[in-house]
Amino acid sequence: TTAVVWFRRDLRVRDQPTFLAAKERADRALALFVLDPTLLEPAGPRRTAFLFRCLRALDEDLGGKLLVVKGDPEDVVPRIAQAVGADSVHVAADFGPYGRQRDEAVEKALGSTGDGVELVRSGSPYLTEPGTITKSDGDPYKVFTPFSREWTKRIQDAEPADTDAKTLTWMDPSDKDGGPRAVKVPDDPKVDAELPEAGEQAAHEQWEAFVDEHLTDYDDTRDRPDKPGTSRMSVHLKYGTVHPRTLLAGARGNGKGATSYRNELCFRDFYGHVLWWFPRSARENFDPKFEKIELDTGKAAEQKFRQWQEGRTGFPAIDAAMRQLQGEAWMHNRMRMAVASFLVKDLHLPWWWGAKHFMELLVDGDLASNQHGWQWAAGTGTDAAPYFRVFNPVTQGERFDPQGDYVRRWVPELADVEGKKVHQPWKLPDPPSGYPEPMVDHKAERVEALNRFNAL
């Protein structure tokens, strides 16, 4: 018998529960990836290029046996199952709003093929499947800390699945009898950023280097955008070139660094849960009371938004971060919080404008983490920063980029300003030309933001 292993956000061969489930049912497997226009269109060139690179790497790991087809999964997956005579299709469950609905549709379509093919879900992109951690009365957690206590108990026994490319005997896709046409992984779209290395091997190398060099001190350095102190695993978790189980296995123990790292993995699961329970929170204020807050829109607001996007706000740390996003398709977490706070509390713009811009440019752009990260900063989400906590764009820079190296790296106009003075160029006797004045008076806008919140 044949099983289909349908890869989606799990573009790897190690730690793959789907392989074990397929092995129980069948003596050979077809490896499948579907280029789904509904997902590809909003992904933008950066994530699309990264995805294509991961697919080429996966195909190589599978000895050239990955079948790639184009189309709506509801249509193509059942036709492929029929073409290879499969009685099961194996996936890691998806929990985003679109993924859930797509899988239900595919499951139904498979069930109504002649022999009734089963969609078998094994595992998910998370350590704990969204929806499975609840309060004792069955209600979802809306606050992180109690969620994390429960989560910590659940992950005690999580271990990577012992798999590799040889776990299954892969069928040659050209042996399939009819069905949708195989396509090549398309050429990468043109990308104007330096993307990280794609694929499972790159994920493992990056992870091992992080564990060797930075994990022990992670708790101290994770807030420093001027240092390479974070794991850069977000993009690999997004595409599943590594599973968080593998990261957890490397970050066990009571050390401060490992404990703090697990806490971040927990945040990722938490937002996966929140999105599962409250899919509307991807688009609307989690707390509906904020629907009424006064926001700036219109021409002047759009002009301010562009200055923010281009990294020309006149606040060096904010501008460095926005340019890092353009240049690297990634931004340090501390700076994601700072630029989000700036957009919402200094410019009074809708958080979803910023969230959309992030989703267009981030190579790790992920609906659950991004939308809820934004809502956290805006003060409208679960467990949000209290609305009266307004980040100061200058002191954020001075605290977390104390020598100014991060700013000098990303803002060439300020490259000759030495030390922490770079965070307030307007105070220099001779401010460098070509760098803008601060676009707002932070003190005044902070008061304005608080007034708008208080008016609710």
Annotated binding site for FAD: 218, 230-234, 261, 264-271, 364-366
237 contributes a contact to ligand FAD by CB under 6 A? yes
232 contributes a contact to ligand FAD by CB under 6 A? yes
Beta bridge partner(s), residue 5: 31, 90
Residue type, 283: R
308 contributes a contact to ligand FAD by CB under 6 A? no
Whole-angstrom Cα distance, residue 10 to residue 125? Answer: 7
Considering the complex, state which of residue 31 and residue 49 has its C-beta at the smaller distance from ligand FAD: 49
Considering the complex, state which of residue 120 and residue 335 has its C-beta at the smaller distance from ligand FAD: 335
| Identified binder of ligand FAD from the candidate list 362, 390, 417, 422, rule CB under 6 A | 362
342 contributes a contact to ligand FAD by CB under 6 A? no
Q: For residue 66, which phi and psi values (nearest 5 degrees)? A: -80, 125
219 contributes a contact to ligand FAD by CB under 6 A? no
Cβ neighbourhood burial of 299 (10 Å; 0-12, 13-18, 19+):
exposed
- Residues 81-120 binding ligand FAD (CB under 6 A) are none
Yes or no: say if 5 and 173 are a contact pair by the CB < 8 Å rule. no
Residue nearest to ligand FAD (CB): 373
| Identified binder of ligand FAD from the candidate list 74, 364, 383, 401, rule CB under 6 A | 364
Query: Three-state SS across 375-424?
Result: HHHHCCCCCCCCCCCCCCHHHHHHHHCCCCHHHHHHCHHHCCCCHHHHHC
Beta-strand pair 118-121/86-91: parallel
365 contributes a contact to ligand FAD by CB under 6 A? yes
What's 210's DSSP letter?
Answer: H
Mask of contacts with ligand FAD, 244-283, x by CB under 6 A? --------------------xx-xx--x------------
By CB under 6 A, how many residues form the interface with ligand FAD?
27
Cβ neighbourhood burial of 192 (10 Å; 0-12, 13-18, 19+):
exposed
377 contributes a contact to ligand FAD by CB under 6 A? yes
Q: Give the chain's end-to-end CA distance (angstroms, integer).
A: 63
Least distance in Å: CB of 2 to ligand FAD? 35
What's 93's DSSP letter?
Answer: -
What's 342's DSSP letter?
Answer: I
Least distance in Å: CB of 95 to ligand FAD? 14
Least distance in Å: CB of 238 to ligand FAD? 6
148 contributes a contact to ligand FAD by CB under 6 A? no
Mask of contacts with ligand FAD, 163-202, x by CB under 6 A? ----------------------------------------
Least distance in Å: CB of 394 to ligand FAD? 19
Whole-angstrom Cα distance, residue 169 to residue 2? Answer: 10
227 contributes a contact to ligand FAD by CB under 6 A? no
Alpha helix ranges (H) inside 26-172: 37-61, 73-84, 97-111, 144-154
Torsion angle, alpha carbons of 444, 448, 450, 455, to 10: 160
Considering the complex, state which of residue 2 and residue 324 has its C-beta at the smaller distance from ligand FAD: 324
Whole-angstrom Cα distance, residue 108 to residue 120? Answer: 12
| Identified binder of ligand FAD from the candidate list 307, 309, 369, 396, rule CB under 6 A | 369
Structure-token match 């077809």, residue found: 30
358 contributes a contact to ligand FAD by CB under 6 A? yes
Least distance in Å: CB of 273 to ligand FAD? 11
Least distance in Å: CB of 271 to ligand FAD? 5
Considering the complex, state which of residue 82 and residue 324 has its C-beta at the smaller distance from ligand FAD: 324
Half-sphere exposure of 317 (CA within 13 A, CB side): 32
Q: For residue 4, which phi and psi values (nearest 5 degrees)? A: -100, 130
Considering the complex, state which of residue 66 and residue 385 has its C-beta at the smaller distance from ligand FAD: 385
| Identified binder of ligand FAD from the candidate list 147, 374, 387, 406, rule CB under 6 A | 374
**Which tokens in the block code for residue 193?**
């950023």
- Residues 322-341 binding ligand FAD (CB under 6 A) are 333, 336-337, 340
Beta bridge partner(s), residue 88: 3, 118
Span near ligand FAD by CB under 6 A; candidates 21-29, 124-132, 152-160, 366-374: 366-374
47 contributes a contact to ligand FAD by CB under 6 A? no
Yes or no: say if 344 and 380 are a contact pair by the CB < 8 Å rule. no
Span near ligand FAD by CB under 6 A; candidates 288-296, 298-306, 369-377, 386-394: 369-377
Yes or no: say if 52 and 188 are a contact pair by the CB < 8 Å rule. yes
Least distance in Å: CB of 237 to ligand FAD? 5
Cβ neighbourhood burial of 342 (10 Å; 0-12, 13-18, 19+):
buried
Q: Applying CB under 6 A, which residues contact ligand FAD? A: 222, 230-234, 237-238, 264-265, 267-268, 271, 333, 336-337, 340, 358, 362, 364-366, 369-370, 373-374, 377
